[in-house]
Structure 1
Amino acid sequence: MKRADIKRRPLADTTLASLEPEASTYRELDGAGLYFRVKPNGQKSWELRYKKPDGKWSWLGLGGYPEVGGALARQKAAELRADQAAGKNPMVSRQARKTAELAATNSTFEALAREWHSSRLASWDPGTAKRILGALELHVFPTFGKRAFAEITTMEWLELLRGMERKGILEQLSRVRAYCKDAYDLARVTGRASYNPLEGLHKFIQAPTADNYAHVSLDELPALLRAIRAYPHAHDVRLGLHLLSLLAVRPSELREAEWSEFDFERQLWTIPEQRKGRKGGREHLVPLPRQAIEALEELRTITGAYPLLFPGRSDRTKPRSDTVFLMALRRLGYEGRQTGHGFRHLASTILNEHGFDADHIEAQLSHKAPGVRGIYNKAKYLEQRRTMVQWYADHLDKLAAGNVVHGQFGRVV
């Protein structure tokens, strides 16, 4: 649109958007000293013409367009004109408003949480830092991120945490509560908060217990295995549940796994230490039985084009939700009876009952032995575990087919 074609003022939104640049910069009056400036390169912005205390006229920028639209520009201009009428210098009052806006931005919970997160980076490995920030971005920032942290009440925090409680993600709930409480502690010791609204909330929400790792009885396991193999929804989730049952790894380890960690020729999965969430931990080697290789090959036809085994639906660079396997088990009718972590308990029980070496089992589960023995015993028992996990996978196949009779067993050799 040519400036000569302007029909009315204040300038309409369609006019602001369509005004064409000219060979030199020009300004068009919007009204009451507010002008719309257009540069030859097409850049557009707002300026207020005002009289300085010395009586000279000057220009005061109010922001670029379209970030600052017509309505906001007129509001800013009105505020500055009111300041001028009250004897204030619009230049000084505008800077004061900017300072107040910056202070308000820095007083949001998201700003506080990110400050706390940055202050702790030296004590975390990169994987832990990424997971902590991801948990806050997923569970807290959408609700409280833009709120002033000093204005969020204890009751509001309780309701947020109870929402997580209702979803059954108790372990994540406990961690998120601790992260947010620590962030408020930072605000308190730096004089920005007089109390911590999360103090004592743990007494009124469900704590993660062994029930959070619920698992079916051995008698119920065959039916669960058959239900998993017939899971009618997302095929990648079906294969994920199958792999959890076979490998007894932590659900987060599988959910965040990358294809680059798998060596199909050696039938080995290497979980790097920075993904294990334990400072000072070691990489974990997981031997893969034939059934796991088959499941992975099928999964690769679904998600092999992406780095992650289980890429998110909306953002393929991030893994699926941390509740994806738990929700799938609920859809199968196992809410409160089986969790992803519960497959580790089942594997431990079955392998111990069938006489496998306890050190081999603990190594497979990536458990660290207590005391000095845990520090010096770095044996991975890889070859012994290959035999053990293949036996276990074959055993689960037999359970699913109904070909196993429970009883007392001696050591498998």
Structure 2
Amino acid sequence: MKRCDIKRRPLSDTTLANLAPELGAYRELDSSGLYFRVKPNGQKSWELRYKKPDAKWSWLGLGGYPEVSGALARQKAAELRSDAADGKNPIAAKKARKAAEIEAANETFESLAREWHTSRLSGWDVGTAKRILGALERHVFPSVGKRPYISIMSMEWMELLRGLEHQGILEQMSRVRAYCKDIYDLARVTGRAMNNPLEGVHKFLSSGKAVNYAHVSQEELPTLLRAIRSYPHAKDVQLGLQLLTLLAVRPSELREAYWAEFDFDKKLWTVPVERKGRKKGREHLVPLCKQSLRALNELRQITGTYPLLFPGRSDRTKPRSDTVFLMALRRLGYEGRQTGHGFRHIASTILNEHGFPADHIEAQLSHKAAGVRGIYNKAQYLEQRMKMMQWYADYLEELETGNLKVALKTTTS
């Protein structure tokens, strides 16, 4: 579009986008001293012609187009004209406004959260630090990250956390609440906030375990196992649900697992300490039964070219969403009745009822015994757990095929 074809001012969005360059740079008046400048190379920008306090005319750049739209350029021009009318130097006023914008940006919840995260890095291992920042980036920053932290009310935090609660990720919700409360404590003790809007919020949220670890009864288990086997959506997710039933590990441990952690020859999965969320402790050894090895080999055909067992769809370097297994169970009709973590409860119940030693079961679940016994008992009972979990996998297989009926009460010797 040639400038001789301009029909009206202020310049329309179509005109701004289509004005063609000429051999030399030129300016076109938009409105009240605001000009649109076009260079021979096609670059476009906004300039304001204003009168300085010494009564001389000058130009002030307002930014490039299309980064600065017509509406924004006119708003900036109006502010600067107002400054000039009040006897202020428009350039000094522009710099002051920019400084205020930077200061406001540094007072957002996200900036405070990242400051808090940096301040705590020395106390975390790499895996923990990455997991915490990832939770904030996934669940908090999209909603309130760009807001000034002092403007976010307790009611808004309650709404955000209840959103996580309704997704069924209650353990994650509880952690996110604790992180955000700690972030506000940083602002409070450094004199940047008078109170903590997350104080007391936990009293009105679900505590997590009773609902988060929901699981079906043993009588319903065969139907659930068959439903998982026939899951019609993503194959990797279906295999993940099978592995949760067979291994009794935490969903996060499986979802974040790397292929390098698996030794197929030794039939062993080693969950490293840093992925278990503890600075101290030891790696968790998970024996692999025949059925889990079959599922893993099938999964390796799908995702084996990536480091992670369950790589994300948009970013293959990150694991699938922390709700991936929960949402799959919902699609199968088990919302509120079965969670990924609930498979651990099922395994514990069945193994205890069939007389397996409590120490072996607790070692499989990676539970630490309470008190002095927990300090001194370091045994992992790997050989015994190999046999126990193969029995358990065979038991589930019999249930699924209908070759075994679940008794209401099981007698153990």
TM-score by length of 2: 0.89
Partner of residue 100, structure 2 = 100
After TM superposition, the structure 1 stretch with the greater mean CA deviation from structure 2, 49-58 or 77-86, is 49-58
Partner of residue 147, structure 1 = 147
Partner of residue 318, structure 2 = 318
Partner of residue 164, structure 2 = 164
- How far apart, CA to CA, are the structure 1 residues paired with 2:113 and 2:276? 23
Indicate yes or no: 2:412 matched with 1:409: yes
Change (3 A) 1:8 1:216: closer
- How far apart, CA to CA, are the structure 2 residues paired with 1:341 and 1:72? 51
Aligned residue identity for 1:100: A
- How far apart, CA to CA, are the structure 1 residues paired with 2:8 and 2:92? 32
Change (3 A) 1:40 1:304: farther
- How far apart, CA to CA, are the structure 2 residues paired with 1:124 and 1:29? 58
- How far apart, CA to CA, are the structure 2 residues paired with 1:162 and 1:12? 45
- How far apart, CA to CA, are the structure 2 residues paired with 1:40 and 1:273? 61
Unaligned ranges ≥5, structure 1 = none
Matched residues, percent identical? 76
Partner of residue 176, structure 1 = 176
- Residues 162-188 of structure 1: per-residue CA shift (max 9 Å, x gap): 222233222122112222222222222
Q: CA deviation at 1:207?
A: 1.2
- How far apart, CA to CA, are the structure 2 residues paired with 1:334 and 1:100? 51
After TM superposition, the structure 1 stretch with the greater mean CA deviation from structure 2, 169-178 or 5-14, is 5-14
Partner of residue 137, structure 1 = 137
- How far apart, CA to CA, are the structure 2 residues paired with 1:258 and 1:14? 52
- How far apart, CA to CA, are the structure 1 residues paired with 2:28 and 2:248? 69
Q: CA deviation at 1:2?
A: 5.8
DSSP 3-state at the match of 2:59: strand
- Residues 356-394 of structure 1: per-residue CA shift (max 9 Å, x gap): 343333222222344555455544333333222222211
Aligned residue identity for 2:175: R
Change (3 A) 1:330 1:13: closer
Q: CA deviation at 1:24?
A: 6.2
Partner of residue 243, structure 1 = 243
Partner of residue 218, structure 2 = 218
Aligned residue identity for 1:351: L
RMSD, aligned CA = 2.7
- How far apart, CA to CA, are the structure 2 residues paired with 1:47 and 1:281? 63
Aligned residue identity for 1:408: T
- Residues 175-202 of structure 1: per-residue CA shift (max 9 Å, x gap): 1222222222222222222222221111
Partner of residue 50, structure 2 = 50
- How far apart, CA to CA, are the structure 2 residues paired with 1:374 and 1:381? 14
Where does 1:386-397 land on structure 2 (aligned, <5 Å)? 386-397=386-397
Partner of residue 273, structure 1 = 273
DSSP 3-state at the match of 1:299: helix
Aligned residue identity for 2:411: Q
Q: CA deviation at 1:250?
A: 0.1
Q: CA deviation at 1:260?
A: 3.0
Indicate yes or no: 2:199 matched with 1:196: no
Partner of residue 292, structure 1 = 292
Aligned residue identity for 1:403: N
Change (3 A) 1:64 1:374: farther
- How far apart, CA to CA, are the structure 1 residues paired with 2:277 and 2:44? 49
- How far apart, CA to CA, are the structure 1 residues paired with 2:266 and 2:60? 69
- How far apart, CA to CA, are the structure 2 residues paired with 1:89 and 1:160? 44
DSSP 3-state at the match of 1:310: coil
DSSP 3-state at the match of 1:49: strand
- Residues 333-366 of structure 1: per-residue CA shift (max 9 Å, x gap): 3333322112112222323333434333322222
Partner of residue 82, structure 2 = 82
Partner of residue 345, structure 1 = 345
Partner of residue 119, structure 1 = 119
- How far apart, CA to CA, are the structure 2 residues paired with 1:120 and 1:24? 56
- How far apart, CA to CA, are the structure 2 residues paired with 1:192 and 1:178? 19
- How far apart, CA to CA, are the structure 2 residues paired with 1:263 and 1:84? 73
Aligned residue identity for 1:135: A
Q: CA deviation at 1:76?
A: 0.7
- How far apart, CA to CA, are the structure 2 residues paired with 1:385 and 1:353? 16
Indicate yes or no: 2:104 matched with 1:73: no
- How far apart, CA to CA, are the structure 1 residues paired with 2:12 and 2:203? 57
